[in-house]
Chain A
Amino acid sequence: MDSRLKDLAEKLDAGLIARREFLRKAAVVTGGTAVGLKALEGMARAQSQTKLRVWLFKSFVTAGNDLLAKQIETWAAERKVQVEMDWATFGDREQKFVAAIEAGNPPDMAEMNYQGPSRYKPALRDVTKLAKDVAAVRGGLFPYAERVVNLNGQFFGVARLAFGGGFFVRKDLLDAKGVKLPKVYDPDVVEMAKKTQDPSKDLWGFGQTLNRSDDGNGYMQNILWNYGGGVWDKDGKPALNTTFQKQNLEAIKFSVDTIQKHKIQPPGVMGWTDVHNNEAYMAGKLVSTNNGASLYYAMVAKKHPLAEKTQVILTPGGPAGSYLAAGAYNWGIFNKSKHAELCEDLIRWVEDEKRFDEYTKASIGQAGSVYKSRADKPYWKTDPNFDGMLQNILRSVWVGYPGPFSAAAVEVQAQYILCDMAGRVVVGGLSAEAALKEAHARVEEIYKIRGGKV
């Protein structure tokens, strides 16, 4: 014990020095606190002015984002209010919405995707009058967009745009091999892919993930329809493993075959998120892929050499036709907002045709028309790829098809049930039949909870 005490006494001496060092460090910390408090004071002062909290969708088309921000800032300056913009993207959007609504602290308004009105209806304000006014002077809403915002006669969102997109093909590679543009997945896309790909050079014919992602989700939904199947029947009842069992099985098998049998997809495709096909395509490793307009924007904006070699065509179909779903982005006002009128004013402002035209131009084909008059604008004819992307939207159906657009249908998409189903076959080693059965049970459960209505 003696030696230990002595040791400690020495340490104590050393500790006095350490304390001085400690004090120095404490001074730094205190300084930091002071700076922090000052910043907070500044914020508190700024908050005395009317402040509008606006949540926006951060699209990859950054030029569009910047322009929208500028338009909103101009509005704020003119109306002498303060606007706090928060940009969120895929992935971290939903948790912000849920947390904010649950904590009773939602923004005043938000740009939502097609799921927003249905999912957040209890927290949203009825904007029927505004939505109808805005639509009336623009030739009315396209049905695909109206369905999303107009829930049983009440509007919970003011439609803004739909993301264009399509089937991106390397025209140069197809021409070199004398292959014509595909119309259906089987056999066109498969044959095109086999003829043009060169796995030894890491060039693959087709890049379409079935993984949990928005890309995988969209594709799986479309392919079921293309084969005459789907998740819902005409009355909006679950039909995955009942009415459409046979068709759905074929669709699943084809999708799995692209990876396992035809080997036209790159290794690792099952782990792709929404990013990877863009990357692989721009790296010249894919002959074709399905994607939103953002991919085209990325290439055009960066003067990428592949921009000129790319053609965006209608999404390929199947034996029953060619289907895809489009969903409209829209403005929602939260019912907790104390500034609903200001929000309405802001929506009118950014949807003003002159401003929206500017936005359309900046976003290189991404701002697909939800209002009829907007689809007639000459802009869409300035690039054949723009027209391809617009036509893809205009011929689209809705989630829930051939039944009604419903809360349950939105949930099935939001929970990636169809991707999980494919994943269970490709990665989990389940038979297509077993995976279909499993997915059907999940759909049934959702149907039980949400019902077949909006």
Chain B
Amino acid sequence: MPTTAAQLGTKSAALERKVRTGRVGLKRWLGPDYRLGFLFVLPIVVLVLALVAYPFGYAVYLSMTRKYVGLPPVFVGFENYVKLTFDGFFQRAVVNSFVFTFGSVGVKLLLGMGMALVLTSQIRFRSFWTGVLLIPWVAPTVVSALNFLWIYDGSLGVLNYLLVKVFRILPQGVGWLSEAGTAMASVIAVNVWRGFPFFGISFLAGMKAIPGELYEAAAVDGATAVQRFRHVTMPGIRNIVIIVMLLSTIWTFNDFAIVYILTKGGPGGTTMVLPVFTYEMAFGAQRLGEAIAAALYMLPPLAFVIIVLARHMRRGRAK
């Protein structure tokens, strides 16, 4: 490629400056804003190294050991991972985790969309309702899970009371958390209840960012509400939908408190999701190496989700 004189000129000028002050060289290597940049990122680096990276590294090491409580770890390589691969209980926990996660995220998507559409339409006291609908997301998970434990209670719970005594839909109470057919749906319902407001408010934020002119133009063209939703709203919030779904996938996949408080993975293992499995392995069986291996096992698929997420976030911004 031929080099133009102008380019040569700039290059030599830069060279000259570099020779004059050493700092230019540093700037060139470390970037023009490196001093403020490093200073500003330093706290995060320290935080991530000390409180995430180091414990994480130690966890990875532990996952390759046979480790019982109070005794030093014995290195065993990938034995724990191999063992888990062929363990029926672990396999079922993986399947349950996927059912729990995708079931939850799917319903949250629908309810969240409904919430956002309602909150962008012409209704009174809109901002008040927005605040109210956010409550489940901000209430402490422990509180919500205990509350639902009480609501679902087979003999004294209000859900059975409503369905049997008030609406007379069912002839007899259902053990919501204790029957194979309803347990998973019941824990998903609580996760959905807690999580959908975040979907709603994020979608709402996305819809608000769509220029009003687009809707006006669509209305002039005689588009129906459904058409406006399909051709204006959806494309406008497409990225948000993907990002929120991916974020929620990670949150839901790692959700421990709801399932643990409601069912501890029962009945008969029907709601045994991975975080609870890990927990039981660590504290019930007290096999820490295997427990941590179980938790790390699903990291690659989650990492994939994260990478997709990161790409979408960047693409969203590049626009």
Contact = CB atoms under 8 A, between A and B. Distances in A.
Contacts of A266: 154-155, 175
Interface in A244-290: 266-273, 276, 279-280, 283, 285
A385 to B, nearest CB: 24
A423 interface: yes
B179 A427 contact: yes
Interface residues of A, number: 43
Interface string A410-422: 0100111000101
B185 to A, nearest CB: 13
Interface in A400-441: 411, 414-416, 420, 422-429, 438
A362 to B, nearest CB: 28
A211 B287 CA distance: 22
Contacts of A119: 69, 286
B135 to A, nearest CB: 21
Contacts of B178: 211, 267-272
A358 interface: no
Interface stretch (B27-35, B45-53, B108-116, B266-274): B266-274
A94 to B, nearest CB: 4
Contact of B179 (A268, A285, A416): A268
B228 to A, nearest CB: 24
B88 A438 contact: yes
A75 interface: no
A120 interface: yes
Interface stretch (B12-20, B123-131, B277-285): B277-285
B172 interface: yes
Contact of B285 (A270, A414, A422, A426): A414
Interface residues of B, number: 36
B174 interface: yes
Given A267-B174, A283-B155, A283-B156, A426 B267 contact: yes
Contacts of B284: 94, 414-416
Given A423-B269, A427-B267, A98 B69 contact: yes
A416 B283 CA distance: 12
Nearest to B157: A268
A279 B153 contact: yes
B69 A211 contact: no
A2 to B, nearest CB: 15
Contacts of B156: 279, 283
A266 B179 CA distance: 12
Given A95-B283, A271-B178, A122 B173 contact: no
Contact of A279 (B68, B155, B176, B263): B155
A101 B154 contact: no
B71 interface: yes
Interface in A87-102: 94-95, 97-98, 101-102
Contacts of A426: 267-268
A420 B92 CA distance: 13
Contacts of A211: 178, 266-267
Contacts of B312: none
Contacts of A101: 69-70
A428 B184 CA distance: 13
Contacts of A425: 268
Given A98-B69, A121-B70, A427-B180, A271 B269 contact: no
B177 interface: yes
Interface of A: 94-95, 97-98, 101-102, 119-123, 199, 202, 211-212, 266-273, 276, 279-280, 283, 285, 411, 414-416, 420, 422-429, 438, 449
28 contacts: A94-B286, A95-B283, A98-B288, A101-B69, A101-B70, A120-B69, A123-B70, A199-B172, A211-B266, A267-B175, A267-B179, A268-B155, A268-B178, A270-B175, A271-B178, A273-B264, A276-B155, A280-B155, A283-B155, A283-B156, A414-B284, A414-B286, A422-B268, A423-B268, A424-B268, A424-B269, A427-B180, A428-B269
Given A120-B69, A427-B269, 19 more contacts: A94-B286, A95-B279, A95-B282, A95-B283, A98-B288, A119-B286, A122-B69, A122-B71, A123-B69, A270-B178, A271-B177, A272-B154, A272-B178, A276-B154, A420-B268, A423-B269, A424-B268, A424-B269, A438-B88
Q: Which 7 interchain pairs have the tightest Cβ spacing?
A: A268-B175, A271-B178, A423-B268, A268-B154, A427-B268, A122-B70, A123-B70
Interface of B: 68-71, 88, 153-156, 172-180, 183, 263-270, 279-280, 282-288
